[in-house]
Amino acid sequence: MSLTESVRAIDPDDALRSLHALGEVLRNMRKQCGLTQEALASLAGFARTTVHNVEKTGQDMGYLNMRDWLAASGSDWRALGEALQQRDPLSSLALVDSGDVMLAALTFEPLEALGVTVRTYRGMTGLNQEEFGHRCRLERSHFRTIERGGRSPRFTTLRRIVDQLPVDWRGFFHFVHRLDPIVRRPLRGNGTPLDRAATPATNRVRLTTQ
């Protein structure tokens, strides 16, 4: 079966299971680096109730907030992909290894890195933005904005996208890591964060392609 013929139905229950899996993964990352919920919230710039709700109730969260959580807990996209694939496995009918995709030695702004990753794997399906967005139950304009690096999608939206790509969580986030390696957020002397976790400046570019 070709990539363009490979259609997976979207199970409404998958969203809730995935959110609880994400909460478990992020909670484990926090605990592994010895942070309380209050400390993680301070480092990532969240309210403590947000940390609690993500970990305990399956609250949805945006892509950039996930990135801040990883940076605050000293983790990265690769670790997230590995852990998510264990707890919320995605299986592609035509899996592509992220290491097989050639990349120039460049890093991108966080949302641009996400957009490049999505566009790269979407291109392998042979579908245009409108066709692929339809599979994910997203308006073309919404999906196009994600691919162009102009929107921080919620985790549930990201899962619907990745589930239709020829890659699993592990491969997807390994690819993101190659474009956007996370640096742990720097702290002031009093332990409060300076700013959003940075992308290394070396060879950083802004996405200008359509």
The helix-helix angle for 37-44 and 48-56 (nearest 10°) equals 120
Report pLDDT for 187: 47
The yes-or-no verdict on residue 76 having pLDDT over 90 is: yes
The end-to-end CA distance of the chain, in Å, is 29
Give the pLDDT score at 183: 77
Distance (Å, rounded) from C-alpha 171 to C-alpha 191? 34
Measured distance CA(22)–CA(41) in Å, rounded = 17
Q: Write down the domain spans for the chain.
A: 13-205
What's the mean per-residue pLDDT of the chain?
A: 83
Superfamily of domain 13-205: lambda repressor-like DNA-binding domains (1.10.260.40)
Give the pairing of strands 204-205 and 107-108.
parallel
pLDDT tens digit string along 134-160? 999 999 999 999 999 999 999 999 999
Residue 138: predicted pLDDT: 95
Total-model pTM = 0.81
12 confidence band (pLDDT: 50, 70, 90) = low
Confidence of residue 2 (pLDDT cuts 50, 70, 90): very low
Q: Do 176 and 194 contact (CB within 8 A), yes or no? A: no
